[in-house]
Amino acid sequence: QVQLVQSGAEVKEPGASVKVSCKASGYTFTTYGISWVRQAPGQGLEWMGWISTYSGKPNYAQSLQGRVTVTSDTSTSTAYMELRSLRSDDTAVYYCARGQCSGGSCYSDFWGQGTLVTVPS
């Protein structure tokens, strides 16, 4: 069965960086991309970016451009999201999700359990 298992919760100081991992299993890793979505406490979903695990090419939300990097390691079927220069409003649950994105169709069919990143103010 398809599973995405994310790394554990993190507490980071303002200005630091965080790197969240997402290990996929139950399918051929390079057949689907990986999206990253975050959700601040009590708020809605915010798309952060997507990576084609086949080509390694990423695509980022403009609001996070320059602070976020998404990578993937096909040898371990693991995707990573690094967010730099953390601020208190980056406090959120970060989700990875298996994604399809082509021809105007962009959706995520399996999601990780989420990783809480806390940045104290």
Partner 1 sequence: QSVLTQPPSVSAAPGQKVTISCSGSSSNIGHNYVSWYQQLPGTAPKLLIYENNKRPSGIPDRFSGSKSGTSATLGITGLQTGDEADYYCGTWDSSLRAVVFGGGTKLTVL
# residues near partner 1 by CB under 8 A? 25
Instruction: Establish if 104 lies at the interface with partner 1 (CB under 8 A).
Output: yes
Contact 97, 64 (CB under 8 A): no
Contact 73, 93 (CB under 8 A): no
Q: Which of 27, 54, 111, 116 binds partner 1 (CB under 8 A)?
A: 111
Instruction: Establish if 32 lies at the interface with partner 1 (CB under 8 A).
Output: no
Q: Which is nearer to partner 1, 15 or 50 (CB)?
A: 50
- Stretch near partner 1 under the rule CB under 8 A, chosen from 25-33, 70-78, 83-91, 111-119: 111-119
Minimum CB separation of residue 117 from partner 1 in Å reads 15
Q: Which of 80, 108, 117, 119 binds partner 1 (CB under 8 A)?
A: 108
Minimum CB separation of residue 75 from partner 1 in Å reads 26
Q: Which of 13, 41, 62, 66 binds partner 1 (CB under 8 A)?
A: 62
Buried b (16+ CB within 10 A) or exposed e, 44-62: eeebbbbbbbeeeebebee
Which residue's structure tokens are 């298992």? 5
* Bridge partners (DSSP) listed for residue 83: 18, 68
- Residues recorded for the chain: 121
Return the ∠ at Cα 101 (arms to 29 and 27), rounded to 5°. 20
